[in-house]
Structure 1
């Protein structure tokens, strides 16, 4: 399939600007499809994203966005806005082309390399162009499947790979259903998920956690019987922490995605960020239809390895009910050792350097 790069950014910009020019004679003050923004505002947003992504790469930004804004001159006509998209898209393509292979620049959805920012630019160009032209009388516009497929492959590990790529991209960005999969109420992409041999761990942002807690899908296609109530409850804890100002990215809840079919099979995560002693509690569950395949153990090892790659974590803790034989096996295989018991539970700890590889 190949990876998304500068050529794909150029291709997406060419497709987007051609489509936008074809409707430049229409009223861009009307709302874009499925948006509270006007068509004009969406196109300006597109230019801002391109310039912002280019700046992240060119500046090798490790934290936060470069503090600037792209603002068109007052009264700029649609054709001028299209030229703005063309120019800022060119900046992004150039930044992607020049980005060193080892560069990782900051984005709120995960640090990304040049290919990652290229995929972000492609997604922004395609879906926002569709939002605008659909509102202005061209609802059947569609980009080439391979271009969509490469962007989906780079940013949406939870999206099916056996469906039409364009329809899949629209589903992954909450714009339509996909066969038996309903339209997502909340969504995001994953520039830097945690990967293991058979699984991908995708962190729930607070809005996705709130959606999951409220009965939604959290942006995922779930295996039969999912999500489990424990995962929905954990989503509520992330939502509460965010509302209280205590949420710290990385130290929340992750959805366990099976790489073979892109189905979500469970949840795993931390109760909070590490305390002053470097200790952090971890928990997990797997939907009943996916149990007995080693997913919990693999996910636990992967997330524990991520935690110990952070200097603030020195010991992981897990609490398991006395009678939960399967969970005792999971923590034991990962290297956790019992350190006490009480209230019908066994308390386990895993210290830095004690993690057992698979």
Structure 2
């Protein structure tokens, strides 16, 4: 799996600064930054402010709000000076991403009030790419960042955006900065970090399209698994998520979650939905555990947590689980989690949890 770490932050910053440095002799303060109401110099300062803010969130392990500080440049700082600040704050974010453990999450409001190191890296890269575009548009410069970098951002913090043939044009469209053939203009947008649901011994960590693609291809999805690794059902579910993402129908709240032990950060299985509720308000749930994670009550604990999560219970949603007749252990899991048998045939037993 292509890791979204400090080196990607550095790649974005290096490319942006190299481009903007070709125009430091221009009047940035007197030039509007593309479609923004800001001038180019202020927009460059904003890039630096975002980079240091994200580094501060990770380094400070802030969980309730933004760390209360801001970046102030010396009076009279010019174009070259602000580029030096972008390089410096970019290096600080890259260092924070590299040194933050995978399981750490820090406060960010959109949309689930936290993000991990990959989320902050993706947001920092997005700030650099998009606001460099704004400045370049104002100054009349051609800006074409690497397609892989744009895909990194889209597959981690834009899970609702159907991918396009051109990742950069898709990212511009998704943030209201351009048109895309066959899609309506975007006037409001937010990026989405992955959702995490707490349980007693586990956390249920939302699988991003990037992680789903890796799992479906036989990788680890960026998770540290127990020795036996992901079971086939996890890979199949990841493939379903990826198809929904490619069709533009993926909804993260109704996606797949990897079950991660709090004690050691090891993934022991996966659980999630086959998709959003149908027209009758039913959403089917499924799960499996890695062989090394079985027999310890993890599935029951995770199912109770996921079934009680507000997104899964809103608007009177009925949760459905279909279990093979021969799978007695799984039947016991859903029963312990409060599901009741409602139908059966020769092969399957259907259980429901109603509001």
TM-score norm. by structure 1 comes to: 0.61
Superposed CA deviations along residues 227-276 of structure 1, whole A, max 9, x for unmatched, are: xxxxxxxxxxxxxxxxxxxxxxxxxxxxx99734342489999xxxxxxx
- Tell me the secondary structure at the aligned position of residue 37 of structure 2: coil
* Local SS of the residue matching 2:23: coil
Structure 1 residue 298, shift from structure 2 partner: 3.7
- CA offsets, 1:135-169, max 9 Å, x none? 0111x311111111111111111122242111111
8 Å CA contact 1:10–1:90 kept in 2: the answer is yes
For the 8 Å contact 1:170–1:176, the answer to whether it is kept is yes
Superposition RMSD in Å: 4.1
1:144 aligns with 2:146: yes
Unmatched 5+ stretches in structure 2: 198-203, 209-240, 255-274, 288-301, 323-335, 340-350
State whether residues 62 and 105 of structure 1, in contact with CA within 8 Å, keep that contact through their aligned partners in structure 2: yes
Structure 1 stretches (4+) deviating beyond 6 angstroms? 265-269, 299-304
Pairwise CA distance, 1:69: 0.7
**Cα contact 1:304–1:316 (8 A) shared by 2:** no
Deviation at 1:73, TM superposition (A): 0.8
Change (3 A) 1:261 1:72: same
What is the CA-CA distance between 1:193 and the residue it aligns to?
Answer: 3.8
Mapping of 1:103-118 within 5 angstroms? 103-109=104-110, 110=112, 111-118=114-121
Deviation for aligned residue 1:333 = 2.9
* Partners of 1:317 and 1:130 in 2: CA distance: 40
Match of 1:57 in 2: 58
Q: For 1:297, what is the secondary structure of its paired residue?
A: strand
State how far apart, in whole Å, the 2-side matches of 1:52 and 1:75 are: 22
Q: Taking structure 1 as reference, are residues 122 and 317 closer, same or farther at Cα in structure 2, changes over 3 Å only?
A: closer
Query: Is the alpha carbon distance of 1:154 and 1:34 closer, same or farther for their aligned partners in structure 2, counting shifts above 3 Å?
Result: same
Unaligned runs of 5+ residues in structure 1 are 201-255, 270-285, 320-329, 336-351
Distance 2:60 2:104 in 1: 10
After superposition, the Cα gap between the structure-2 partners of 1:291 and 1:308, relative to the gap in structure 1 and judged at 3 Å, is closer
The equivalent of 2:2 in structure 1 is: 2
Q: Are residue 263 (structure 1) and residue 264 (structure 2) matched?
A: no
Contact 1:13–1:125 at 8 Å: present in 2 too? yes
Q: 1:134 aligns with which of 128, 137, 157?
A: 137
Measure the CA separation in 2 of the matches of 1:185 and 1:28: 26
The answer as to whether partners of 1:155 and 1:190 remain within 8 angstroms in 2 is yes
> Equivalents in 2 of 1:193, 1:317: separation in Å?
16
Residue 283 of structure 2 is aligned to residue 297 of structure 1 = yes
What is the count of residue pairs matched by the alignment?
256
Q: Is the Cα–Cα contact under 8 Å of residues 268 and 300 in structure 1 kept in the other structure?
A: no
Contact 2:160-2:249 at 8 Å conserved across structures: yes
Secondary structure in 2 matching 1:89: helix
Report the CA distance shift for 1:148/1:199 in structure 2 as closer, same or farther (over 3 A): closer
Partner Cα separation in structure 2 for residue 50 and residue 163 of structure 1: 29
**d(CA) in 2 for partners of 1:298, 1:199:** 17
Is the contact made by 2:48 and 2:90 (CA closer than 8 Å) also made in structure 1? yes
Deviation, 1:295, is 8.7
Task: Tell me the residue number matched to 1:31.
Answer: 32
Q: Distance in 2 between matches of 1:317 and 1:11?
A: 42
Distance 1:97 1:18, change over 3 A: same
| Corresponding residue of 2:124 | 121
Residue 174 of structure 2 is aligned to residue 164 of structure 1: no
Report whether the alignment pairs 1:179 with 2:142. Answer: no
| Partner SS state of residue 333, structure 1 | strand
State the match for 1:331 in structure 2.
Answer: 318
TM-score by length of 2: 0.62
Within a 5 Å distance, the mapping from 1:1-358 to structure 2 comes to 2-29=2-29, 30-109=31-110, 110=112, 111-138=114-141, 140-193=142-195, 259-264=244-249, 296-298=282-284, 305-306=305-306, 308=308, 318=315, 331=318, 333=320, 353-354=337-338
2:303–2:337: 8 Å Cα contact kept in structure 1?
no
Tell me whether 187-196 or 160-169 shows the greater mean CA deviation. 187-196
Contact 1:199 1:299 (8 Å CA) reproduced: no
